[in-house]
Structure 1
Amino acid sequence: MSDIPSNEWKCSLTKILLDHDDEQYDSVLEYLNKIPKSKKNIRNRGKMAQVIIEYYGEEESIIEMRDIMEEIPRRDAPVQKLLRPFVEKLEEKDNTKKRNRTDPEDQQDSPAGKKKKINGTQSKPEKKKLRSSAAFEKNNNIDSDSSNEESEVDDPESPQSEKSIQIPSWRISIKGLIDGGDTKGKCVGGKVVQKSGLRSYKTSEKKKFFFYLGVADETDCIKATVYGKEHFQKFQEGCSYNFRDVLVDKFGGESIIKYIFSSKISKIKEIQVSKTLEAQMLIYSQSPVYSIDKIQSLEEKTAVSVEGTVTEIIPVKKVKVTGRRAKVKITRFHLKDETGSIWITLWCKDSEQLKGKSVGDFVRVINTKTHRYYETVSLNSTDFTRIITIQEADVQNVTIQVVGIIECNQEESELDVEINEQVQTCTVASPLLAKVLGINLKDDFEDKLLEKTPISAEAEIKGNKIIQLKFIKEEETNLESE
């Protein structure tokens, strides 16, 4: 990049890195996926600036740092004053290239400025696909042959064009917002398809909070950044809202809504969003799907998604975590595919995602991060982790015998259960167990349950979860044995 001297960018990059505290600096290194882990151990930030330029090159390192500063975020003047001049030079260079590029479809066949004609007929511009549809196709290896375009319009589950729907005059569609880059003083209506956890960043004054939303309407989907802890409870997944006085910005070439201190929302009647767009909103922000065998070789905190069969679920527990006063909820489950198996830990509210899931379910777990403990690799949930059931486990009707109690509380009991002369772990809702056995749930439940073991019963089991239970009395058992 001849117009930006290498030493000038290296000097500014060093100053940018020096302006970060240790936590922010570590976050920057996490985003730099091209740099090997061994190189990230360099604590001298001047040397790290040189490493970044070596692995990314000058132009790409400028773009990468711009995107990382937006993501952390570090939008404050000390950092942006160092970064913006280089970003602006790149943008100016890019715009010059675009002006000099000649598009065959835009060529004119006469000085009068008429559009190019084919067989005497004025050519029509090629139909442009929705941005999110292209992302969906790319992530799912779908052939984006143009012959499919007409069928997409006719599909009721596909995003609709603005001509086929009625958008109120006071509202701008998300597709219109993306194409135009501005709200034009109108509301943006959308359904919250996805909501992240609360995130934070530090300024010289105090700690500040923000979170992300995935928003979709009848035409397209878009990511939104909401600033302020006080807004977190206002937005609920599945609800629709009018967004007013929001900013529209570009991040990594994509449009983003920014909900700031002066922005406003109002709850509205649900906007009908196609199932295709809802799925695209999730997949659009999904990390790559890896086999479990491949995950074992990835670096610490690599973003991954994985598919497999659930083979074991550990009930939710509360544990003490360094740096937090109160205990936090966690649960773990074991996932297996054709290449291996791995443990996945769900933290805090993410632990609730296992409700309704059973051993034997085939699931896709998106947006997790790798965790290494010596030679053992596991996965941790993140703000955008989602568990999608692809195929549920079969339901079985079997005769069981409860032979032991692993753990027991008023919500759920974990039991050793004999099925076909094999002992396995099963869980059952404690109220169901108490009702079937005629035990008071609040009065020494575990002790009274122990007195009745072994317990024979007819059960309906899905994976390792007992969903229906019928107690077999001792007399019936004796008759069957005779």
Structure 2
Amino acid sequence: MATVSESEWKKALTSIIEELDDSQLKDMLEFLEIPKQRTSTTSRELIPQRIIESCGVETSIHKIREAVDRIPQRDGAVLKHLQPFVDELKSKEEEKGQKRKHRETESEDETPEAGFKKNNIVSDSCSDEEAEADELKSPQPDKERKMPPWRISIHDLKIVGQLGKKAIAGKVVQKSGLRTYQTKDKQKKFFFFLGVADETSSIKVMVYGNERYQVFTVGDCYLFRNVLMEEKVMKVTKMSNISRTATLDVPQNLEMEARMLVDFQIPVCSIAQANSAAERTSVSIEGTITEIASVENIKLKSKRRKKAKQELRLEDSTGSIRITLWGEDIKQLRGKSHGDVVRVTNVRTSRFHDAVSLNSTTFTRIFQVQSAAVQNVTIEIIGIIKASRTQTELDAQISGREVQTFVVDSSLLADVVGVRLEGDFEDRLLSNMPFSADVEIEGNKINKMNAVNEM
């Protein structure tokens, strides 16, 4: 079996080191754990030999590959020197694996006399030791070693920077809405983003054109060929080939990484910036919830059905804005309340005269940044918005503040006010108003309540 040429690797390693600045070289040497007294960033010509002496040829190739993946320098100038040796080692390790498998098969076919017996188990006296030695020589993860020859992992693609004739297999875990850009001759073009992950890593994918938007379904797995790589983004053009493929076993943490690559693609802007944005601009904002309205069922124009709608108002140091959530997006407000700080991503501006509001899209996400503080205050209940057997929505004034809307469990409210839930509960509440109570509030939710004055 051919071995990797030490002299050729030393030349390539010298070229790699020449591409690094002092800071990157220092990071690499620290990662490789090369003794400081044996290296210096000012004597670069000596470093390749020191690395090879310290780690060995094959191990140093593996370690340099890992180091390049960790430091910022991953451009083609470095990778073109490194990748041929990485490929050579992979081929060598695959050959070892095939020989070991063949040896194990032959051992099973041999008679007991061909090996030695121990506890009635026949084995080749050297196969276990050699297999263990092979494992020690190959630090590649099991899943990488089992990668078929036509496929490259996302982890390796981000190192190499190009697919070549290979394909990428990945699971689409997130998809953005369609977005637009203008060419130099002011033509309007479409693109969208995907969050894609495999067993080894995750990557952001930019797909040009709108004709493929319906091709990709979140949760399905696809093969990508003839794509472009630019920095850390994989780009799918009209020349790229896409096909569906078998399900991949993607770790949950990598799915989350891929999802966040798209969820947080639109940078968070201030509410003032959102208010000044053009019609149908996609934005992400962060602020404190100052109001959550009741759910409404709106009859859609030209359709014979209704769609659920719920509004909230967000405020930051620059202003406030109304956000309308539609359909399934309303569920994202569960567990959120008045006073919570939230980040709302991928919403779209809507202008009516001079007023700007935000509408949810298929890809809107609401993330809780900070929960509202728990407060103990005295309120005066002055209005009932909606009362059911389970929950009551009411208007109340906190001493010295403006009127706010609160929600409370109806059973708690009935017990404190001293009325029955059965029958016309709302009318009974109204007949006892205004009503003062000491309450514990968390945002706009009343957790505890005690009457201030006896009825």
Category of TM-score, reference length = shorter chain: 0.5 to 0.7
Over 3 Å counting, the alpha-carbon distance change for 1:129 and 1:120 in structure 2 is closer
* Structure 1: unaligned runs, 5 residues or longer: 1-101, 107-116, 135-161, 200-210, 236-240
1:282 matched to 2:208:
no
Instruction: Name 2:143's counterpart in structure 1.
Output: 167
- Report the counterpart of residue 271 of structure 1 in structure 2: 252
1:365 corresponds in structure 2 to 344
What corresponds to 2:68 in structure 1?
Answer: 127
Other-structure match for 1:418:
397
Task: Find the aligned partners of 2:70 and 2:421 in 1 and give their Cα distance.
Answer: 58
Q: Which residue of the partner structure matches residue 284 of structure 2?
A: 305
C-alpha separation in 2, matches of 1:183 and 1:407 = 64
Q: Secondary structure at the match of 1:119?
A: helix
Measure the CA separation in 2 of the matches of 1:183 and 1:358: 52
Query: How far has the Cα of 1:313 moved from its partner?
Result: 1.4
CA distance in 2, matches of 1:274, 1:303: 24
**Structure 1 residue 461 and structure 2 residue 387: aligned?**
no
Aligned residue for 2:143, secondary structure, equals coil
Q: 1:341 to 1:223 in 2, by over 3 A?
A: same
Instruction: Compute the displacement of 1:394 (Å).
Output: 0.5
Residues 167-246 of structure 1 correspond to what in structure 2 (within 5 A)? 167=143, 169-170=146-147, 173-177=153-157, 179-181=161-163, 188=170, 192=173, 194=174, 214-216=195-197, 219-223=201-205, 235=219, 243=221
Return the letter of the residue paired with 1:214.
G
Name which one, 1 or 2, has greater alpha-carbon Rg: 2
- Report SS of the residue matched to 1:413: strand
**Letter matched to residue 201 of structure 2:** T
* SS of 1:301 mapped into structure 2: coil
2:364 to 367, 379, 385: 385
Shift of 1:273: 3.6
Change over 3 Å in CA distance of 1:166–1:281 after alignment to 2: farther
Please report how far the alpha carbon of residue 120 of structure 1 lies from its aligned counterpart in structure 2 after TM superposition. 3.9
Query: Which position in structure 1 is the counterpart of 2:306?
Result: 327
Provide Cα deviations, 1:377-436, integer angstroms capped at 9, x if missing partner.
Answer: 111122222222222210112343433201234564320123326563333255554774
Match of residue 352 from structure 1: 331
In structure 1, give the amino acid aligned to 2:252.
I
Write the mapping of 1:109-148 to structure 2, written as runs, cut at 5 A: 118-122=44-48, 127-128=68-69
Cα deviation 1:348-404 (Å, max 9, x = unaligned): 222222222222222222222211111111111222222222222101123434332
C-alpha distance in structure 2 between counterparts of 1:431 and 1:164, whole Å: 61
Query: Deviation of residue 461 (structure 1)?
Result: 1.0
- What is the letter of the counterpart of residue 311 of structure 2? R
Cα deviation 1:263-316 (Å, max 9, x = unaligned) = 255485853349777644532x22x33322233332111222222222111122
Change (3 A) 1:372 1:469: same
8 A contact 1:215–1:224 mirrored in 2: no
The one-letter code matched in structure 2 to 1:328 is K
Distance 1:265 1:462 in 2: 47
Structure 1 equivalent of residue 270 of structure 2 = 291
Q: Distance in 1 between matches of 2:403 and 2:268?
A: 31
Which of these residues, 317, 322, 329, is aligned with residue 338 of structure 1? 317
User: How big is the alpha-carbon RMSD for the aligned residues of Structure 1 and Structure 2?
Assistant: 4.8
Q: Percent identity?
A: 34
Partner of 1:167, secondary structure, is helix
Kindly indicate whether the alpha-carbon contact (under 8 Å) linking 1:427 and 1:464 is maintained by their aligned counterparts in 2: yes
CA contact (8 A) 1:319 1:327 kept: yes
Contact 2:396 2:406 in 1 (8 A): no
Change (3 A) 1:276 1:170: closer
How far 1:459 moved relative to its partner?
Answer: 2.8
State the match for 1:28 in structure 2: none
Q: Does the residue aligned with 1:295 lie in a helix, a strand or coil?
A: helix
Asked whether the equivalents of residues 342 and 377 of structure 1 are also in contact (C-alpha less than 8 Å), the reply is: yes
Question: How far apart are the structure 2 equivalents of 1:440 and 1:248?
Answer: 70
Which runs of 5 or more residues in structure 2 are unaligned?
Answer: 1-14, 20-42, 50-63, 76-137, 180-191
Between the aligned partners of 2:419 and 2:153, the Cα distance in structure 1 is 58
C-alpha spacing 1:403/1:332, structure 2 compared with 1 (3 Å):
same
Check conservation: 1:311, 1:360, Cα contact below 8 A: yes
CA distance in 2, matches of 1:445, 1:393: 30
Q: Distance in 2 between matches of 1:230 and 1:214?
A: 15
Shift of 1:441: 6.1
Name the CA distance, whole Å, in 2 between partners of 1:103 and 1:267.
34
Shift of 1:231: 9.2
Does the CA contact (< 8 Å) of 1:216 and 1:281 recur in 2?
no
Distance (Å, rounded) in 2 between the aligned partners of 1:412 and 1:261: 51
CA gap of 1:220–1:386, structure 2 versus 1, over 3 A, is: same
Distance 1:180 1:370, change over 3 A: same
Q: 1: CA distance between counterparts of 2:44 and 2:230?
A: 37
How many residues are matched?
315
